[in-house]
């Protein structure tokens, strides 16, 4: 390139060489800069300041880690004794909210083939009016719920006992609920705790929820809860801003409605934390809301308080 420039300079008239020398120098500079820009560097813009940072799997400081699991008393022994028991449900505030001496803390069973086996039986298989809290594995050949709590919707059935045992008092419990605070349900399994937030209590007819709805279909899932959230019965108490949507995992507690043989009462809960997958949403600090005034409460629905 240097020889080419020299030959060009010698061919110019003497008096034009001053300007031409300057022009050639500028051309040479442009060529040098062009060659530098066209080297072996990656042509992709290296400025990635606006790109989201990659998740660092070793960054434990910014991960939401669940509290250590403390299993309910008697759970381990119950699991060991009864093969159909696969989970334990606990609603910590139930006892205090209703002023009862009975905790809502029970094992949950599932018979592999007989959907109604635990309806009027205890865990030993003996006749029992209170029955056992249970989920269904199969109904008329259709799979209903697994035992891993990973279905889009899991339904637990329990009797509405007058003494507030099993699911007795759930409807009353929901009538007192204020959704300006967070209300939690825990499901325990071996070395695992799944946390759900209660988002509503609402009546439903006697038709089978999961048998007639394929909740793996997003449209079916959204349509079901859209309709449920339109319910205006006097016993309805819903967190209108927290309706389940496709992608959520929902736990439904199903119990006979107070004084109404034509409906069941559903307590709808959304999964918010699973210790099997610790990168989850944080559970709200309910103690921080303890001093809220009645004026800030959002419960606008009054419900039947008969147990």
CB 254 within 8 A of CB 156: yes
pLDDT in tens, 52-71: 444 555 665 666 665 678 99
pLDDT of residue 69: 85
pLDDT in tens, 85-138: 999 999 999 999 999 888 999 999 999 999 999 999 999 999 999 999 999 999
Domain containing residue 175: 76-278
Residue-level pLDDT at 1: 54
Name the β-bridge partners of 185.
196
pLDDT tens-digit map of 137-168:
999 999 999 999 999 999 999 999 999 999 99
Query: Is residue 193 pLDDT above 90, yes or no?
Result: yes
Confirm whether 28 is domain-assigned.
no
**pLDDT, greater one: 15 or 65:** 65
Residue 38 has pLDDT above 50, yes or no: no
What CA–CA distances, in Å, run from 78 to 98, 167, 171, 184? 27, 20, 28, 23
Q: CA angle at residue 23 from 18 to 24, to 5 degrees?
A: 100
For residue 102, the domain's CATH number is 2.40.260.10
CB 296 within 8 A of CB 266: no
Name beta bridge partners: 108.
87
Residue 306 inside a domain? The answer is no
- List pLDDT tens digits, range 234-276: 999 999 999 999 999 999 999 999 999 999 999 999 999 999 8
Q: What pLDDT is stored for residue 257 in this prediction?
A: 97
Domain annotation covers residue 147 = yes
Listed residue (149, 98, 110) closest to 252, CA to CA? 149
In a domain, 292, yes or no: no
Closest CA to 92 of 157, 160, 172, 187: 187
Domain count across the chain: 1
Let me know if residue 133 belongs to a domain.
yes
Rg (CA), the chain: 33
**Residue 222 lies inside a defined structural domain of this protein:** yes
Average pLDDT, the chain: 81
């Amino acid at each position: 390139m240097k020889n080419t420039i020299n030959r060009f300079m010698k061919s110019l008239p003497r008096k034009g060489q001053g300007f031409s020398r300057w022009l050639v120098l500028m051309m040479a500079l442009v060529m040098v800069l062009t060659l530098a820009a066209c080297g072996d560097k990656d042509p992709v813009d290296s400025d990635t300041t606006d790109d989201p940072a990659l998740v660092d799997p070793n960054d434990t400081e910014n991960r939401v880690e669940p509290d250590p699991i403390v299993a309910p008393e008697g759970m381990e022994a119950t699991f060991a004794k009864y093969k159909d028991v696969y989970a334990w449900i606990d609603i910590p505030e139930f006892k205090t909210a209703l002023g009862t001496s009975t905790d809502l803390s029970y094992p949950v069973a599932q018979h592999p083939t007989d959907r109604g086996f635990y309806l009027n039986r205890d865990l030993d298989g003996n006749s029992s009016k209170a029955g056992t809290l249970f989920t269904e594995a199969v109904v008329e050949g259709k799979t209903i719920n697994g035992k891993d709590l990973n279905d889009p919707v899991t339904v637990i059935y329990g009797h509405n006992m007058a003494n507030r045992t099993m699911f007795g008092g759930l409807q009353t419990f929901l009538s007192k609920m204020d959704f300006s605070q967070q209300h939690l349900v825990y499901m325990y399994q071996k070395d695992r705790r799944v946390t759900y937030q209660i988002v509503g209590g609402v009546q439903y007819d006697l038709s089978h929820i999961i048998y007639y709805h394929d909740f793996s279909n997003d449209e079916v899932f959204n349509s079901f809860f859209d309709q449920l959230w339109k319910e205006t019965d006097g016993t309805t108490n819903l967190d209108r801003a927290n309706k389940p949507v496709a992608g959520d995992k929902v736990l439904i507690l199903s119990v006979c409605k107070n004084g109404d043989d034509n409906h069941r009462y559903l307590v709808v809960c959304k999964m918010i934390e699973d210790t099997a997958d610790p990168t989850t949403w944080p559970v709200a600090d309910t103690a921080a809301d303890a001093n809220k005034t009645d004026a800030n409460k959002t419960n606008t629905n009054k419900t039947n308080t008969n147990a």
